[in-house]
Amino acid sequence: MPIYEYEPLEPCKTCEKCAGRFEIIQGIEEEPLSSCPQCGQQVRKVISWCRAAIVETPDEHIQVNKQISGYEKEGMWSHAAELADTHSEKVGDHDMKMRALDDYKKAGYDAGTLEKHAKSTKD
């Protein structure tokens, strides 16, 4: 599913969601939005091109990021690593994969073992 980007026509009347630009995942056959799904203010599509959307919504992505940060803060490295690892596989996020490896190391896993593990599970 592609992601479309919208911006408000009247930036002074926006809600939290549509202040500035926001992105939304829509099916190709869906009508473009003409109003903000949250407050109903008029919006317009910013770009005509689209890029491949990750499987889940950006909101969920942010949630997972927050959760990982929370684990890291409390020193729960293996929890953070596992979550980052699973999530990076799901969305194909290279940075998060690196973060997972980093967290694994902090959790006391051996980096060499991990690389082998990463390769063996990839196929």
Q: Which residue is nearest to Zn ion (CB)?
A: 36
Q: Among residues 1, 11, 30, 38, which is the contact residue for Zn ion, using CB under 5 A?
A: 38
Smallest distance, Zn ion to C-beta of residue 53, A: 21
Q: Tell whether residue 15 is a contact of Zn ion (CB under 5 A).
A: yes
Stretch that binds Zn ion, among 37-45, 50-58, 80-88, 115-123 (CB under 5 A): 37-45
Q: Tell whether residue 54 is a contact of Zn ion (CB under 5 A).
A: no
Q: How many residues does the chain have?
A: 123
Q: Please, what's the b/e burial string for 71-81 (b: 16 or more CB within 10 A of its CB; e: otherwise)?
A: bbeeebbebbb
Q: Among residues 3, 9, 39, 50, which is the contact residue for Zn ion, using CB under 5 A?
A: 39
CB 82 within 8 A of CB 67: no
Stretch that binds Zn ion, among 16-24, 67-75, 88-96, 106-114 (CB under 5 A): 16-24
Residue appearing with tokens 């992105």 = 23
Residue appearing with tokens 């803060």 = 73
Q: Report residue 9 as tokens.
A: 């026509």
Residue appearing with tokens 């929370």 = 70
**Chain residues that interact with Zn ion, rule: CB under 5 A:** 15, 17-18, 36, 38-39, 41
